[in-house]
A and B are shown apart, each in its own frame.
Chain A
Amino acid sequence: MTSGRQSGFSMYRPGAEGTAGKTAPDETSEDEPAEPAEEVNTVLGADEKVDLREDEASAKVQAVLDRLDGELVGLTAVKLRIREIAALLTVDRARARFGLSASKPSLHMSFTGAPGTGKTTVALRMAEILHALGYLRVPKVHAVTREDLVGQFIGHTAPKTKEAIAKAAGGVLFIDEAYYLFRPENERDYGQEAIEILLQEMESERGSLVVIFAGYEDRMETFFSANPGLSSRVAHHIEFEDYRKSELVAIAALMLDRDDYKFTPEAEAAFEEYLERRLALPRFANARSVRNALERTRLRQANRLVAAEGAVSRGDLILISEDDVRGSRVFDEAAEPDAEDRVRLS
């Protein structure tokens, strides 16, 4: 309370000069000893014990982690890191209850990995975990790219970056493809200015913001090596690996299940074959490509059902046949390698 009074604006009051102890704010804080006294009570003795599992917050964190396990296939390394971070923060909270020194941990992170490996989804869950532990006020992710932070002309960048920071306040600022912020080939690029403002915000003790930088691994590495100040303030570097084929199949099954669709056994085999061929092609975006492929498969299924005429049963609407999968351009040997991405409605 008292520190707040000092940081607040103090007005001139007639007769209050020199008698600071008698000003209204100080009097109220003296009249209400309840708040500081409560804080003193919560510091536990040296021989007391805290069950980390019983903590209400850690129960919430556990629920989020379980959901993460359920909805994200694979990514064992990422899940382990997130569990570690959550455990560290839970322990920090427990330490604070014993009155042990618990400096505000640095929570800024970098997520590196190929597109479609679940970086945004994990950022959402991370926000929920940090919110449950009380490090964020709202479990909210404000996703931005270079366009939202960097301006077009001198003096345009700072307001834009500050606006993005203000919008993300209390939550997570997720900077996708963060390496675009830094363009070494252009000396007068305004990206540097945005980085400096971000750094300022990340450094400030009162900052209620967690910044997550995301992007491809190799380009993020050059980005961080070019901005050593940034790299040292990002405490957690999490790498997202590409999915293996079996994991992609599981992801497809999860997606279909969520949308109430089903592969026939032949279609499943065909889809595995599809993935094999697609993996060999360039610009494969992991889970995102799987989702797009399924979308197209659904289109072909709908087209087939409409063209067939006559009544359709519930099973017809759910089942995706082998032909729906095999209709993809990827199975067309003569097609160009990237035809699949361009011709979505094939």
Chain B
Amino acid sequence: MLLRHGAFSYLPDLTDEEISAQVRYVLDRNWPVSIEYTDDPHPRNVYWEMWGLPMFDLDEPDGVLSEINECRRTFPNHYVRVLAYDASLGRQTTGLSFLVQRPAEEPGFRLDRTEAQGRVQRYALHPYSTEAVPGSRYTRSDNGSS
């Protein structure tokens, strides 16, 4: 199941040129860009791990793209997203956020129903991938042939 996360997630995958075009738009508006990664796809998992520090004062997207590629190399089976913060409102506001990498195989979610008091139903989303320990999720594509 494809994780629909952030902007452009219902479009075909962005190529590197398209990513750099988006980053250029962000840099033109003077928003700092940061890169984040995670292997927990739960929609309520808002704070992903930061890849380095946010990048300030760039004019061209090349630097961001090289960082993205470095992050992809290090975490080939993680979700990686690009975030742009708009600080013009005086607080950290997400201006743009989109995925630049997803695992090859995404097992999706299970809906958990639990009984609460008075026959009330409570629902929870359970990502199948989180059944593995962090760091070893989404490795099936690597040894899928075996």
Contact = CB atoms under 8 A, between A and B. Distances in A.
Given A9-B101, A11-B2, A162-B63, A25 B13 contact: yes
B63 to A, nearest CB: 2
Given A159-B52, A166-B55, A167-B57, A10 B62 contact: no
Contacts of B63: 162-163, 165-167, 169
Interface string B116-132: 00000000000000000
Contacts of B2: 11-14
A81 to B, nearest CB: 27
A19 interface: no
Contact of A11 (B13, B16, B55, B59): B13
Nearest to B72: A9
Chain B interface size, under 10 / 10 to 19 / 20 to 34 / 35 or more: 20 to 34
A45 interface: no
B96 interface: no
A4 B59 contact: no
A137 interface: yes
A250 B92 CA distance: 54
Contacts of B112: none
Contacts of A166: 55, 58, 60, 62-64, 66
B12 A25 contact: yes
A5 B103 CA distance: 17
Contacts of B104: 12
Contacts of B64: 166
Contacts of B19: 8
Contacts of A169: 58-63
A9 B58 contact: no
A159 B102 CA distance: 26
Interface string B6-27: 0000001111111100000000
Nearest to A201: B66
B144 to A, nearest CB: 11
Contact of B17 (A8, A23, A159, A167): A8
Contacts of B59: 138, 140, 167, 169-171
A32 to B, nearest CB: 14
Contact of A4 (B16, B66, B105): B16
B66 A8 contact: no
Interface residues of A, number: 28
A28, A137, A163, A171, most chain B CB atoms within 10 A: A163
Given A5-B15, A7-B16, A169-B59, A162 B66 contact: yes
B100 interface: yes
Contacts of B14: 8-9
B76 to A, nearest CB: 10
A192 interface: no
A62 interface: no
Contacts of A4: 15-17
A165 B62 CA distance: 9
B86 interface: no
B107 to A, nearest CB: 11
**Which of B16, B18, B62 lies at the interface centre, i.e. has the most chain A CB atoms within 10 A of its CB?**
B62
Contact of A170 (B57, B60, B106): B60
A208 interface: yes
Contacts of B106: 12
A308 interface: no
A24 interface: yes
A51 B17 CA distance: 33
Interface in B49-85: 52, 55, 57-64, 66, 72
Nearest to A204: B66
Interface in A1-37: 4-5, 7-14, 23-25, 28
A141 to B, nearest CB: 12
A8 B69 CA distance: 10
A167 B102 contact: no
Contact of A8 (B18, B52, B60): B18
Which 9 A-B residue pairs are closest in the complex by CB-CB distance? A166-B63, A8-B15, A169-B62, A170-B60, A169-B60, A24-B12, A11-B13, A4-B15, A8-B16
9 contacts: A4-B15, A7-B16, A11-B2, A23-B12, A24-B12, A25-B13, A138-B59, A166-B58, A166-B60
Interface of B: 2, 12-19, 52, 55, 57-64, 66, 72, 100-106
Given A159-B52, A170-B59, 6 more contacts: A9-B102, A166-B55, A166-B63, A167-B58, A167-B59, A167-B63
